[in-house]
Structure 1
């Protein structure tokens, strides 16, 4: 998934620990083979190849993942959109970009972005991208989903506690060997030696979306990888959004959406999810929390 995964579990011996961690790795690889738009053999790649041509029958798992992503698109009025993948050739965050894309280039690319043109057929379990050149990708919710699945598998095997960390999208359960909650530090881009806050949790999802790790710079201005689907330009105004709650996939969708929507509209969105809370870092270096932050944190200990 183009990301680093860290898997931590509490076990009675190293043999059992390695065996269980490998099961989580197998699950992450399985999900990547299903949803990666970079792997030609994946079902998502097949959907993208057939954009504007025909519907593609997919596994129920991918169908449901897409359905949940489209729900996010609807409630955010398109601030969250998995079809933003069509802009993968416009913005590149691998040091290969030499200049900003022109307005003409952006407008042309935006024509291929629009969740309204993703057609789901529940009976056939098929997905159809109506416009040639459209693409979907799960860079926003896929890692959170994989973290949730890793946690679920471990709990089914009665592994009492651990953390699946998908590059900042975490699913935690249980407690440390000393019976204390897991302590999760929220990165502070302005001071890498000091966390914004340290959260004590024992059954929680924590995800962070930010502009400080994956970006390009032109004329001393940073442009992040989180793109506003309506403008084709990177989101601005916020440095990072951390969401805590029950489920990493949902938390990931919320943190990405809030980055695009901004502080005020983002908090309005969060009101629809009373079991989730957020901590926001603005580009001015100030931190803001949703009103329910401390209350939700207590329920996750």
Structure 2
């Protein structure tokens, strides 16, 4: 439900005591960027290997595309029976339901149940019918996800219902990988999971990590540089990479799970938080909610920072945003 364009702005004054090692790989079907600071370049490379292994482990829990995963088993048993799952998946699902509740369903992991009637590969020439759109979301509804914490089970009440973590899964992965590397004594680094970015420590010269956010109306230009000294995670959701042009109008690939229609009004939403999962949940929900309701939601969480860009290029921010 999102496209993110966030790049790192790295310093060049690297001391002899600390080395910066970077690597870009494809994981979970997406681009992952790693930046690890360590006094030993060899160890830094080994830690990146550790990070990759952790991400592959998580994918084997939460992927809806791999048939052997816990999520796939939950989906296969929708409308049939509850499925016993790990505490990890139970907790992640519970947090996802929290985002659904606070956003009144603008965020919904059961969006995976939707019929794929919108095409964003250039092949669509006309809008789906009103009936098809209504039918496409008939199995969506976070209210039909049942968690039994005592038995550690997840049950989807409707036959054919599915859950998926394309919305917060990469943010969760960035957070978990960061926690693992910190536990192993890595002093500083960044995990950028296709735009779901989490950082810790500082650059080799002691300065904070910085993230550059692309202009949603011109992705070749940067419209904001954010210092990650107060918040360690930043996520941008946007509609400017994948869309359909029909009758001269642009339709976003970000679909409102309650209506089945593409979200409109906002070109991008950037959230800074203490975790990429949290930032992702809010950015996804606000893209659907729109400017007014999005800012109202953010006002309830003053610890977050938010930057909203309208389809017309107007920039709206929370009061605590500091742009460079």
Normalising by structure 2, we get a TM-score of: 0.87
Match of 1:286 in 2: 314
SS of the equivalent of 2:185 reads coil
Q: In the aligned structure 2, how far is the partner of 1:193 from the partner of 1:51?
A: 44
Match of 2:118 in 1: 91
Mean CA deviation greater in 188-197 or 105-114: 188-197
Q: In the aligned structure 2, how far is the partner of 1:232 from the partner of 1:7?
A: 36
Shift of 1:107: 1.1
- Asked whether 1:144 is paired with 2:171, we answer yes
- Asked whether 1:14 is paired with 2:69, we answer no
SS of the equivalent of 1:192 reads strand
Match of 2:291 in 1: 263
- Asked whether 1:41 is paired with 2:68, we answer yes
Match of 2:152 in 1: 125
Q: CA RMSD in A?
A: 1.7
Q: Identify which of 153, 164, 171 aligns with 2:180.
A: 153
Shift of 1:86: 1.0
Shift of 1:218: 2.4
Distance 1:278 1:74, change over 3 A: same
Aligned ranges 1:206-221 → 2 under 5 Å? 206-221=234-249
Distance 1:3 1:95, change over 3 A: farther
SS of the equivalent of 2:139 reads coil
Match of 2:89 in 1: 62
Match of 1:111 in 2: 138
Q: In the aligned structure 1, how far is the partner of 2:99 from the partner of 2:168?
A: 10
Shift of 1:283: 0.4
SS of the equivalent of 1:240 reads strand
Aligned residues: 296
Mean CA deviation greater in 91-100 or 20-29: 91-100
Match of 2:98 in 1: 71
5+ residue gaps, structure 1 = none
Match of 1:224 in 2: 252
Shift of 1:56: 0.8
Post-superposition Cα deviations, 1:255-285, rounded to whole Å, max 9, x if no partner, equal 0011010111111111222211101110001
Shift of 1:3: 1.8
Shift of 1:215: 2.8
SS of the equivalent of 2:101 reads helix
SS of the equivalent of 1:278 reads strand
Match of 1:5 in 2: 32
Shift of 1:293: 1.9
Q: In the aligned structure 2, how far is the partner of 1:97 from the partner of 1:47?
A: 32
SS of the equivalent of 1:139 reads coil
Please list every run of at least 4 consecutive aligned residues from structure 1 whose deviation after the TM superposition is greater than 6 angstroms. Answer: none
- Asked whether 1:167 is paired with 2:191, we answer no
Mean CA deviation greater in 49-58 or 198-207: 198-207
Q: Tell me if structure 1 keeps the 8 A contact 2:75–2:156.
A: yes
Post-superposition Cα deviations, 1:183-210, rounded to whole Å, max 9, x if no partner, equal 2101113233431111122451100000
Q: Tell me if structure 1 keeps the 8 A contact 2:115–2:136.
A: no
SS of the equivalent of 2:316 reads strand
Q: In the aligned structure 1, how far is the partner of 2:252 from the partner of 2:57?
A: 29
SS of the equivalent of 2:164 reads coil
Distance 1:88 1:24, change over 3 A: farther
Name the one with the larger strand percent.
2
Normalising by structure 1, we get a TM-score of: 0.93
Post-superposition Cα deviations, 1:51-95, rounded to whole Å, max 9, x if no partner, equal 111111111100110001111111111111111111153334455
Mean CA deviation greater in 39-48 or 88-97: 88-97
